[in-house]
Amino acid sequence: MLKNKKIVVFASGSGTNFINLYNNVKNGEIVLLISNNSNSGAIRYAIENQIDYKVINDFRYPDINIKNIEYESVLSDCKPDLILLAGFMKRIPSNIIELYPNKIMNIHPSLLPKYGGKGYYGIKVHEAVIKSKDRITGATVHFINNEYDRGPIIKQCKINVKDLDDAFSLSKRVLKVEYSLYLDVVNLFCLDKIKINNTEVTINE
């Protein structure tokens, strides 16, 4: 009998990926939301649905060392099996990455390694795709490490770029892919079907 995985989500903005995961994940339970933005849609949803949440940001914790210790303390209290980044706009501290190796996932709105790294986020990714006249784009779920968007890739989903697409229309279509892809990967993890050896990820579907 599989035991439900305990999941913590980090989100900064509207929280649509967080909401989709909360409502649809199987064999897992989102036990905590962490955000750097107390006015975010993710926090509002957490309050409305009585989901535990914690705000950790530079305003509340101006000393970076104290802030990083707070991340560690909060996570230690709930002992997550999996940490999900869902539009979280801050870098995860190295102490957290070291404590939770191969247990922190991110969703990125491109086919990594293309359009990944510092400066490539949100609409900027889709603008780069349009500018480069790429015919195919998509989304990537990957484990994180200490380099932006360079952690081992778990799974990707491709879509065609349409002739009439601009960055905004493309972002909407990629976001739909993100919802289904992220949920698929999280459910596979919760069923113990994702394994990683060094940087090689295998999925037993």
Q: Taking residues 58-85, report their average pLDDT.
A: 95
142 belongs to the catalytic site: no
Distance CA 11, CA 33 (A): 7
Identify the domain containing residue 128 by its residue range. Answer: 107-140+151-205
Q: Taking residues 171-182, report their average pLDDT.
A: 96
Query: Which amino acid is residue 75, in one-letter code?
Result: L
With respect to residue 81, please indicate whether it lies within any of the assigned structural domains.
yes
- CA 29 vs. chain centroid, Å, equals 16
Which of 71, 100, 129 is the last residue before a domain boundary?
Answer: 100
pLDDT at 154 exceeding the cut of 90: yes
Same domain flag for 113 and 95:
no
pLDDT at 106 exceeding the cut of 90: yes
With respect to residue 146, please indicate whether it lies within any of the assigned structural domains.
no
The domain that contains 81 carries what CATH number? 3.40.50.170
Same domain flag for 119 and 202:
yes
Exactly one of 108, 114, 126, 142 is catalytic; which is it?
108
pLDDT at 47 exceeding the cut of 90: yes
pLDDT at 164 exceeding the cut of 90: yes
Q: Taking residues 81-91, report their average pLDDT.
A: 93
Q: Taking residues 150-154, report their average pLDDT.
A: 95
Same domain flag for 42 and 88:
yes
Q: Taking residues 175-190, report their average pLDDT.
A: 96
Same domain flag for 84 and 175:
no
Q: What is the pLDDT of residue 198?
A: 82
Q: Taking residues 11-35, report their average pLDDT.
A: 94
Q: What is the pLDDT of residue 199?
A: 84
pLDDT confidence of 205, banded at 50, 70, 90? confident
pLDDT confidence of 134, banded at 50, 70, 90? very high
pTM of the predicted model as reported, rounded to 2 decimal places: 0.95
Q: What is the pLDDT of residue 1?
A: 62
Q: What is the pLDDT of residue 151?
A: 94
With respect to residue 14, please indicate whether it lies within any of the assigned structural domains.
yes
Which tens digits make up the pLDDT trace of 16-26?
Answer: 999 999 999 99
Domain count, the chain: 2
